[in-house]
Amino acid sequence: MFLPKRLLRLLSYLLFFLAVAFTLLLVANNRQIIEIHKYIPFDIFGAAAPAFFQPPSDLYIVDIAFENCFKLNSKNQHCGLPSANEGRLGDKAQWVRLGKDITLGSSWVKTQYVSYKKIKHDAYEEYLALQKQEAGKDGVVVDEVILDIAVSDPIRDSKIKGNEKLKLPEYIIKSMHESVVFDDSTHANLVEQNDDNRVDAAPVDEAIQDLLELPKEEQKPQEEEIPEEQRKDEERKKEQEDEQKESSEEEEKEKQKEIEFLKEAAKDEESKEQQKEGEQLEQSSRKKGRKGRKKVQKNNKREVVSDSKELNRLLYVPKKEQVEESGWRYKSNGIWLKYGPRDKKNAVSAIDLLFGPEAVDPRPNWNLIKHPLKDVSNPSGLPAYITFRRGQRIDYKKEYGTTLKMNEEDKFKILQVADLHFSTGYGKCRDPEPPSSAKGCKADSRTLEFLEKVLDFEKPDMVVLTGDQIFGDESPDSESSAFKALYPFVKRKIPFAITLGNHDDEGSLKRKEIMGIYVDVPYSVAALGPDDVDGFGNYVVTVEGRSSKATALSFYFVDSHSYSKNPKITPGYDWIKENQLIYLKMEADSIKDSVEKYRKSKKIPLSMAFFHIPLPEFRNMNQPYIGEFREGITAPRYNSGARDVLGEIGVKAISVGHDHCNDYCLQDTLRAQSPDENKIWLCYGGGSGLGGYGGYGGYIRRMRVYELDTSNGEIKTWKRTEAEPDKKIDEQILVTNGEVVNW
């Protein structure tokens, strides 16, 4: 059945009108004339707005400054902050000081801060409008914000041919090299660049001589302008030098690179005969022991990719004027800023500092520049790196959140990682095994290697970190330590849950702040928890069935706090509080219907709990256990009844950290009225980090794995050690048919 022509015509007009309106809407949003997100509530659909509908970054950064501050005056919020009129845009923009002292508190005399100058995009619009009004019709209004950042490495950068004087950052040279069209003029500048900046320019001359031996009608005009007699003199000189000394392997590589580059630069104007001749030249060079290069062509631009070290690559080094024209400006401390017209996606909107040689930034829209800042005061010896974000802040929960589900076999695997004890630096190795491995040991590097191996072997569905991810005493920048601990899971896209230990908040960040970092990272399923409940990190994580949204698994995470608040009356460690236990009961009650729904599918739901400090019941060693009991149990002296509450809500196994050299699973039945009632497993994960203590009879670092199977109602566990990460040890079944196994 066909529609009338008139109706079809009206529909076509309507579709055309909607298409035009939609296009204009996108353009207006992109140009920041309107902000669509204010009128379309995307959040009601449970997802972030599409990229082209997202609002522009609320902030533009227009300047950066470094300022010193006397130590005694460092608590003054204005200390180390430039005056309002300094920097770009004057008092129209606002200076903000980063809260990180570059000296990391290691200087007795001063502190040093980085500040950035920000302006909101609405205020920037007003500023530009005012400038345009004052400039008049013919006046020029500069619309520039920071679009990119580079940091120089003087020693490395000066090794780039032609960059000995300017010492431009390698990043700037590469970015400009890729935008250059390699015509005759550029080729001539490259030849001049090599002649002016190298003691021995023979490889370039030899390549030109080889090309001159081609038939005259095939030679490039630029090459014909060079006198043949001069070339012969240079060739004879080169032959004499070759007789006096043997060319090193590195010199031979450089020869081949430049020969290949000249072939690339001349390729557009060469005939097929020249291309064949070039291939013969390449083959001839390889026979002499020279290594070739890969060639990349894109948009009529040439890029030569080195097969050896990147520094050996022949790059086009721009002139100072060209660098300035491209928008790059040198600021200070090795930092270069690239200015350009504001852009909501590319404009720099946030800046941070990270420290230590192993610094990483797991946030996907941040760019960490791994060249340390120059001329900064840092007696700690830890390098400082700048990291920055472009565009708006991303909600990682929405962007990278994932629904946890059972796999096709109704199984779910957890890797417990306890007591990493990461530092801002490499970390000190404590009690490594064997003791002979202590020499040259870098604690965090070695721990990361162990962790990476276990992740590769196990491929867990979720990782649980049970406290002391960082070692506060050796974390003058806790954020850097935390990022290093979480990076292995983020880069593998493994969901992870996390609890706080007693050392996590002993560095530069308070307990709520460090938990906030653990929560606000891609693939984290952790939460800060309710404000009216003691501690930070009280939450529940559920896992759905493979074919339904019913709750198959429930995991309870609790902040076990740190040290006793009243050590005179109750010395030692703090305990889980009553309001936390009430919260756990409420959460268990809220998912009860979903758990029962899963049970009706003829599957057996399972539940576990994780936190850092063990419960007093872990001391009941006159009961069956598997694993090692090597050190005293440092549980709280006060018993708040957490074990009973967890048993009441259906938890079958509790797993903790804290005591590094204990790794047992103990079956606790002392509170049971009968042998078949109120059983629960009390397990240690075992210390995994070389930065924490070991010892106690040659303890080897280890990690624990749990595999939960709802088709059989089974919880199985085993461990892997640093010495033999490919082997399982102490494999045991804790729960079967949904009940603790009888011993």
pLDDT reported for residue 285: 43
Angle (CA) 408 410 413, round 5°: 100
CA 341 to chain centre: 28
**Mean pLDDT confidence for 330-337:** 94
8 pLDDT band, cuts 50/70/90, is confident
On whether both 438 and 347 belong to a single domain, the answer is: no
Give the number of other CB atoms < 10 A from CB of residue 346.
17
pLDDT reported for residue 637: 94
On whether both 636 and 582 belong to a single domain, the answer is: yes
Reading the block at residue 527, the tokens are 């939460």
Q: Which long-range contacts (CB under 8 A, 24 or more apart) does 181-187 make?
A: 181/300, 181/301, 182/264, 182/265, 182/301, 182/302, 182/316, 184/220, 184/222, 186/265, 186/316, 187/222, 187/262, 187/265, 187/266
What is the overall mean pLDDT for the chain?
82
**Mean pLDDT confidence for 387-391:** 93
Residue 230 lies in a domain: no
298 pLDDT band, cuts 50/70/90, is very low
Reading the block at residue 389, the tokens are 């974000």
**Mean pLDDT confidence for 290-309:** 38
pLDDT reported for residue 310: 53
On whether both 371 and 462 belong to a single domain, the answer is: no
On whether both 520 and 376 belong to a single domain, the answer is: no
**Mean pLDDT confidence for 606-632:** 96
How far apart (Å, rounded) are the C-alpha atoms in residues 663 and 490? Answer: 27
pLDDT reported for residue 677: 65
**Of residues 322 and 663, which shows the higher confidence score?**
663
Reading the block at residue 49, the tokens are 């707005």
Reading the block at residue 647, the tokens are 């048993």
Which of 10-14, 168-172, 421-425, 549-553 shows the lowest mean pLDDT across its residues? 10-14
Residue 222 lies in a domain: no
Which of 101-110, 305-314, 448-457 shows the lowest mean pLDDT across its residues? 305-314
47 with 398: CB under 8 angstroms? Answer: yes
pTM, to two decimals: 0.78
Q: Tell me, what CATH number does 697's domain have?
A: 3.60.21.10
Query: How many percent of the chain have pLDDT more than 70?
Result: 76
**Mean pLDDT confidence for 325-342:** 93
Q: Domain ends where: 349, 375, 390?
A: 390
Q: Domain ends where: 337, 358, 390?
A: 390
How far apart (Å, rounded) are the C-alpha atoms in residues 481 and 470? Answer: 6
Q: Would you say residue 615 has pLDDT above 70? A: yes
Residue with tokens 């529909």: 11
Domain hosting 157: range is 59-179+314-390
How far apart (Å, rounded) are the C-alpha atoms in residues 446 and 83? Answer: 46
On whether both 642 and 721 belong to a single domain, the answer is: yes
**Mean pLDDT confidence for 364-388:** 90
pLDDT reported for residue 78: 81
Which of 34-38, 263-267, 428-432 shows the lowest mean pLDDT across its residues? 263-267
**Of residues 138 and 221, which shows the higher confidence score?**
138
349 with 387: CB under 8 angstroms? Answer: no
On whether both 419 and 383 belong to a single domain, the answer is: no
CA 581 to chain centre: 35
Q: Which amino acid makes up residue 245?
A: K
Reading the block at residue 678, the tokens are 């109120």
Q: For 112-145, what is each residue's pLDDT tens digit? A: 999 999 999 889 988 888 888 888 777 788 889 9
On whether both 477 and 351 belong to a single domain, the answer is: no
3-state secondary structure of 8: helix
pLDDT reported for residue 177: 83
Q: Which amino acid makes up residue 593?
A: D
Q: To 10 degrees, what angle do helices 202-212 and 228-244 make?
A: 130
On whether both 330 and 417 belong to a single domain, the answer is: no
Q: Would you say residue 197 has pLDDT above 80? A: no
pLDDT reported for residue 381: 87
Which of 230-234, 355-359, 717-721 shows the lowest mean pLDDT across its residues? 230-234
662 pLDDT band, cuts 50/70/90, is very high
**Mean pLDDT confidence for 513-523:** 96
pLDDT reported for residue 703: 98
Query: The dihedral of CA 279, 280, 283, 288: what is its sign?
Result: negative
Residue 446 lies in a domain: yes
What's the domain count of the chain? Answer: 2
Of 378, 347, 398, 327, which Cα lies nearest the Cα of 104?
A: 378
Of 454, 271, 450, 490, which Cα lies nearest the Cα of 363?
A: 490
Q: Which amino acid makes up residue 182?
A: F
pLDDT reported for residue 219: 41
pLDDT reported for residue 427: 95
On whether both 516 and 616 belong to a single domain, the answer is: yes
pLDDT reported for residue 371: 94
On whether both 599 and 659 belong to a single domain, the answer is: yes
- What's the alpha-carbon Rg for the chain, to the nearest Å? 33
How far apart (Å, rounded) are the C-alpha atoms in residues 369 and 361? Answer: 10
In order of 54, 57, 164, 345, 590, the CA distances from 392 in angstroms are 8, 4, 38, 7, 35
Residue 484 lies in a domain: yes
220 with 274: CB under 8 angstroms? Answer: no
Residue 530 lies in a domain: yes
3-state secondary structure of 709: strand
On whether both 453 and 340 belong to a single domain, the answer is: no
3-state secondary structure of 371: coil
Q: Would you say residue 253 has pLDDT above 60? A: no
Residue 274 lies in a domain: no
Residue 489 lies in a domain: yes
Residue 226 lies in a domain: no
**Of residues 435 and 260, which shows the higher confidence score?**
435
Q: 3-class secondary structure for 178-236?
A: HCCCCCHHHHHHHHHHHHHHCCCCHHHHHHHHHHHCCCHHHCCHHHHCCCHHHHHHHHH
Reading the block at residue 18, the tokens are 């909607």
416 with 685: CB under 8 angstroms? Answer: yes
Going by C-beta distance under 8 Å and a sequence separation of 6 or more, which residues neighbour residue 682? 614, 615, 617, 618, 643, 653, 654, 656, 665, 666, 667, 668
pLDDT reported for residue 242: 59
Give the CB-side neighbour count of residue 635, counting CA atoms within 13 A: 20
E strands present in 535-624: 539-544, 551-557, 606-610
Of 247, 316, 231, which Cα lies nearest the Cα of 285?
A: 247
CA 705 to chain centre: 25
34 pLDDT band, cuts 50/70/90, is low
Which of 27-41, 62-76, 159-173, 365-379 shows the lowest mean pLDDT across its residues? 27-41
Note the helical H segments in 341-477: 396-400, 443-458
Q: What is the DSSP string of 280-316?
A: HHHHHHHHTT----EEEEETTEEEEE-SS-GGGS---
Give the number of other CB atoms < 10 A from CB of residue 588.
20
The H or E element that residue 274 is part of is: helix 272-287
225 pLDDT band, cuts 50/70/90, is very low
On whether both 64 and 166 belong to a single domain, the answer is: yes
707 with 598: CB under 8 angstroms? Answer: no
The strand order across the sheet containing 551-557 reads 539-544, 551-557, 606-610, 653-656, 680-684, 665-668, 625-626
Q: 3-class secondary structure for 69-138?
A: EEHHHCCCCCCCCCCCCCCCCHHHCEEEECCCCCCCCCCCCEEEEEEEEEEEHHHHHHHHHHHHHHHCCC
271 pLDDT band, cuts 50/70/90, is very low
pLDDT reported for residue 137: 73
Which of 274-288, 430-444, 667-681, 693-707 shows the lowest mean pLDDT across its residues? 274-288
